[in-house]
Amino acid sequence: MATYDVVDLIKTKRDGGTLTDGEIDWVVDAYTTGVVAEEQMAAFAMAILLRGLDRTELSRWTAAMIASGDRLDFSGLSRPTADKHSTGGVGDKITLPLAPLVAACGVAVPQLSGRGLGHTGGTLDKLEAIPGWRASLSNAEMLAQLEDVGAVVCAAGSGLAPADKKLYALRDVTGTVESIALIASSIMSKKIAEGTGALVLDVKVGAGAFMKDEASARELAETMVALGTDAGVTTVALLTRMDTPLGRSAGNAVEVAESVEVLQGGGPAEVVELTLALAREMLAAAGRDDVDPADALADGRAYDSWRAMISAQGGDPDAPLPVAQATQDVLAPASGTLTRLDAMAVGLAAWRLGAGRARPGDAVQAAAGVTWHAGVGDEVREGDPLLTLHTDTPERFERAFAALEGAFDVGAGPVEPRPMVIDRIA
DSSP 105-138: TT-BEEEEE----SSS--HHHHHTTSTT------
Residues in the chain: 426
Cα distance between residue 245 and residue 121, in whole Å: 12
User: Would you call 190 a catalytic residue per the annotation?
Assistant: yes
Cα distance between residue 317 and residue 125, in whole Å: 16
User: Would you call 136 a catalytic residue per the annotation?
Assistant: no
Cα distance between residue 199 and residue 188, in whole Å: 10
User: Would you call 164 a catalytic residue per the annotation?
Assistant: yes
Catalytic-role residue among 25, 164, 202, 230? 164
Could you tell me where the beta strands, DSSP code E, fall in 252-355?
326-331, 336-341
Of the candidates 116, 193, 124, 192, the residue with the CA atom closest to the CA atom of residue 154 = 124
Bridge partner list, 372: 387
Catalytic-role residue among 186, 189, 249, 259? 186
Order of strands, edge to edge, in the sheet holding 249-251? 249-251, 369-372, 385-391, 326-331
Question: Which sign does the torsion angle of CA 338, 339, 344, 345 carry?
Answer: negative
Catalytic-role residue among 171, 204, 288, 301? 171
User: Would you call 21 a catalytic residue per the annotation?
Assistant: no
Bridge partner list, 421: 240
User: Would you call 295 a catalytic residue per the annotation?
Assistant: no
Catalytic-role residue among 13, 85, 126, 301? 85
Q: Give the angle 275-264-148 at the CA atoms, nearest 5°.
A: 75
Residues annotated as part of the active site: 85, 164, 171, 186, 190
